[in-house]
Amino acid sequence: MALKPYGVAASTCTKGVLTTLVEKNVPYELINIGVSSGEQKQLPHVAKQPFGKVPVLEDNGFIAYESRAISKHIAKKYAGQGTKLIPAVNDVEEYGSFEQAYSIETSYFSPPTEGIAVEKVVNTRAGETAVTIADVKNDSTSALLPDSVSFSTARAVAEKTVRKWVDQLGY
């Protein structure tokens, strides 16, 4: 029986789960959730995912949510097929390196990039002004930006967007 991931193909978290399924050669049937209409925040979806997010995986009655947990579930359950995605637990050094990289991604890479992606893609599609250098430079994660991102780069778009930003701050 094919696994049923619930999500939307454009979601980076759903894409991660689908990539894991493909890498492990696991048949699946994507159940599209209408996130633009808020379907993920309504029953029956919140019965599977109490935080109203995507993706969710249904695996023969077992329900998993959170993309990283889903991907680990798939990688371990189907360890004997497809691409090896998680090292054996008894290989302490290799598994330790895997967990270290996993922790770095979840702690330092994912949070700032998700925020930027939402601003750049989702909010722009919703008609809001795209994120600017001024917005990003004032974020606590700006240390992750390369030095090439400068105020001279921002000048090309600054006039209109920075004015809106300053107005929102109440100055």
Q: Would you state the structure tokens that stand for residue 74, as one six-digit string? A: 């798939």
How far is 86 from 102, CA to CA, in rounded Å? 11
Higher pLDDT, 128 or 35: 35
**What average pLDDT does range 106-129 have in this prediction?**
72
Q: Describe the strand order of the beta sheet including 31-32 as a list of residue ranges.
A: 31-32, 4-7, 56-59, 62-65
**Domains of the chain, earliest start first:** 4-78 (3.40.30.10), 87-130 (no CATH)
How far is 86 from 162, CA to CA, in rounded Å? 45
User: pLDDT-based confidence at 6, cuts 50/70/90?
Assistant: very high
DSSP per-residue codes, 139-171: STTGGGS-TT--HHHHHHHHHHHHHHHHHHHT-
The structure's pTM equals: 0.70
**What average pLDDT does range 37-57 have in this prediction?**
96
**What average pLDDT does range 23-48 have in this prediction?**
96
Residue the block writes with tokens 């895997």: 98
DSSP letter (8 states) at residue 29: -
Higher pLDDT, 66 or 164: 66
Could you tell me what percent of the chain has a pLDDT over 90? 56
Q: Which residues pair with 28 in a beta bridge?
A: 3
Q: Which residues pair with 32 in a beta bridge?
A: 7
The yes-or-no verdict on residue 103 having pLDDT over 60 is yes
Per-residue model confidence (pLDDT) at position 171: 54
